A and B are shown apart, each in its own frame.
Chain A
Amino acid sequence: MNSNFLRRSSFVLNVVLAGAAIALASYQPQRPPVTASVKIVEETPAATPVLVPQAPHFPETASASDKRRWLVDQLRAMGVPNKILARVVWADLDKGWTKHATEIALEYHGDPDAMAALQLETDKSKDAEMRAALGEEGFLQWDHQNMLREVSQTKIELTPAETDQAYDLWKKRQQRQLDLQQAQMNATMDPADVADATEKAEAEYAQQIKAMLGDERYAKLQQTDDASAAADLRQNVAKANPSDSQFQTLLKAQQQWNEQRAALDQQFQNDPTSTAYADQIKALDAARNQQYRQVLGDDAFAAMQKQQDPGYVQMKKYESLWNLDDNSIDSVYGAMQYYQKAAQDYQAQARALAAGGQNVDWDGVNKNLQTFAVQTEQSLEKFLGADRFNRMAQNGVFQIGLPDMTGHGKPKQ
């Protein structure tokens, strides 16, 4: 071989080798699949390696609590929101509680003491069960939402710091309620003491929430703020369609009524069946209605009263079924209004006489009221015909018949 041939051969070899090197460098061999990879979950040091491709399987022999936890883990891994997970857990717990309560009811023949003890036991276990199923973070997320629903009722926004503070107060109150129930069950506190302690705890809780929110936001929460009162009133008087100035006057009257009514409720809280309480409420209502009437005018006020009457609303709803028209509805409504007012006036007169020291024949009063009720029914039946009258009577349209009065002017128990 001459040197020229050698040079050419070396050149060709270089070209071939360079091509081979490039081809090998870019070559990606086909790897067989890795049959097992081990993931060590660092969250729990004691966790054992789990084989990735092995599908999880329902732990049939596990405890109910472990099964719930397993289910939550699967659903969470699928991306199901915490809110739904909590509802699933709650539904599963509820199913278990119902089953257990049925067994206890059968075993103890529905004994109220046994059922109350079970209820308390269930109430006390709720948080722990929910926490076990959802994990700490999931539980807190769910429980904060419960608190916000109850405390803020979506009426006001809470800052994160307020949310945490409100949650602490709410949980303390919840725990106090459980403690008091337990104390009554164990007979370490009697029902009267428990009632007092509950009232005190509620008052403290309300004060703490109020201190946290400030007066204005607290009033909004309680719907005792001006805006809420105005919104309620606007809804009630919508049919009367008052002008702005009329509305402001009505609002003032309503706010006065609210304050006076609250004071009255407070005054008679220990004697809610008192005749004096009923009389004062009546007087308060009458004064407010008079103001309404002055502002709106007789016709608009009467129309508003009518729209708020349950009997009238019912007659309008079933107008076709009961073969009524606007005229007959108005006639029945008018007759019922007349009856109610006349009977109430008569009772008030009798009570006033008794209060004045006069001897009242209460049996006679009751007989007269009965006679008046019968007369009213008869006139309505005549007007409507037996068929329509009976049908409406079955549906409780005619609120006729007042409670018998006693020597103390109170309805009989």
Chain B
Amino acid sequence: MSGDISRGLIVRSTGNYNLVMSSAFRHQASLVLNIVLTVVVGLFAVHKLARASAPPTVQVVHETISNNITPRVSPNAPPAISPPASRYSNIASAAERRRWIIDELRAMGVPNDTLALVARVDFEVTWESRFAACGVDRNKLAAVQLDMDLNKDAEMRAALGEDGFKRWDVKNMLWEAMSTAVAVTPSESDAIYASKKKLQQRELELEQAKVNGTMDDAAINDAEDKVYSEYNQQLKAVLGDERYAKSQQLDDAFSAGNLRYTLAKNGVNPDDAQFQQLFKVEQDWNRAQLKLDPTSPDYSAQLKALNDAHDQQYQQVLGADAYATFQKEQDPGYTQMKKYETLWGLDDTKADYVYNTMKSYEKSVQDLQAGTSALQAQGQNVDWDGVNKRVQQLTDQTGQTLQNYLGEDSFNKLQRNHLFLFKPAQSPR
């Protein structure tokens, strides 16, 4: 720097002269300051106005997701996970928290079923601590379970709203009501829903009575039978016999399908006429079984008579060979031998031999015991110890025969897998 200004300053700093600057110098300095300030104001004005009027820009932000659990990129994944993260834990009330989640998800177009699933899980989790506090005390666990069941509808309604709750609940109730779905009109759906909710309410009342000890177990069982019977009647009245049978898988088509599958699986492929006959045998047999009284002293004998008649009719329809194949294929021991044939060193001939030997043994034991019982029934004195010894002999002989035929290794493998169900000797009542 040079010239008058510096000179003037030097004059001031030296101190031997008057410290006041000359009038000319102050004027020059003011002019210079005018220029400097004008430039500064101009620059500020240009910069600020330019920013204010700038068009919107796209900002590119390189961001690394940092969270405890790293989310993956998925369809429509939320771009930023941090902003609302604290919201869930900040809402103290479980119901409000649930409602908030559901509202957020609903706004994203999540279907009602999925919303209900989230709400149900969240609701159940809130009960976990109460269940845990019960330990292994069954009474306490039953009480908490009941409390949870009693609260469920209200909590789900609060989370989903009336409309969402109703849609979810109707779907659930109808699914529970029908093992096979049948088409229903809206009014039928309403009627089934009403019956199912009534049933549900009554079940809760009975559970309450059980927990409180105001009804005993036998009374509760009776009441449950009554409630279910009424409910089934209502369902039948709404759907009519045909649709009711189909919805409960009690219709002929369902039973016929089952029979056809069982026959085919066990190596029997009857023609249409044979199948119709077998189907009738099966239906008659089922009806007859339902008429038996399991508490009757003759129940076992009656059931045996029914089973024998059923088998006899099958044999007549299919013929002896096809029926024998059917019986063999249904035998658990034979099925096991076929499945593990290679592991056990068997082939078809050996499997057939073992099967036939065991059948022959079983028949001999049954005949022996039946004959002895008949003698006893006629009032004859029976030597049961002798009978038991004979059964033991048959068992030993059969075991030996099989071991000789199969060889020790194969025999042991079958024995380890309980293929030889030898009957224990015993006296009938």
A interface vs B, CB < 8 Å? 3, 6-7, 10-11, 13-14, 17-18, 20-21, 24-25, 27, 29-44, 47, 49-52, 55-60, 62, 66-67, 69-84, 87-88, 91-92, 95, 106, 108-111, 134-135, 137-138, 141, 187-192, 317-318, 321-322, 359, 362-363, 366, 391, 394-396, 404, 406-408, 410, 412-413
Contact = CB atoms under 8 A, between A and B. Distances in A.
Given A30-B52, A59-B76, A70-B74, A77 B85 contact: yes
Contact of B59 (A11, A14, A38, A56): A38
B343 to A, nearest CB: 5
Contact of A78 (B80, B101, B265): B101
Interface string B38-74: 1011001100110110111111111111011111111
B258 A75 contact: no
Given A55-B107, A73-B77, A322-B216, A190 B120 contact: no
Interface string B387-424: 01000000000000000000000000100110000001
A109 B258 contact: yes
B109 A57 contact: yes
Given A10-B34, A95-B117, A190-B413, A37 B69 contact: no
Contacts of A138: 69
Nearest to A412: B426
Nearest to A86: B121
A370 to B, nearest CB: 10
B218 A52 contact: no
Nearest to A138: B69
A25 B44 contact: yes
A391 B215 CA distance: 11
A189 B425 CA distance: 33
A79 B51 contact: no
14 contacts: A6-B27, A21-B41, A24-B45, A38-B59, A41-B63, A67-B114, A71-B105, A73-B77, A73-B78, A74-B78, A78-B104, A87-B124, A191-B336, A406-B427
A21 B37 CA distance: 7
Contacts of B107: 55
B129 interface: no
B48 A24 contact: yes
Contacts of B84: 77-79
Contacts of B55: 32
Enumerate the 5 nearest inter-chain pairs by beta-carbon distance, A residue then B residue, closest first. A29-B52, A17-B37, A79-B88, A24-B44, A394-B218
Given A21-B40, A57-B109, A29 B62 contact: no
Given A32-B56, A192-B417, 19 more contacts: A3-B27, A7-B27, A10-B34, A14-B33, A31-B52, A33-B56, A41-B63, A58-B114, A59-B74, A71-B105, A72-B71, A76-B71, A79-B86, A87-B121, A135-B69, A187-B339, A190-B416, A396-B217, A406-B424
B355 interface: no
Interface string B1-44: 00000000000000000000001001100110110011011001
B69 A141 contact: yes
Contacts of B77: 50, 56, 70, 73
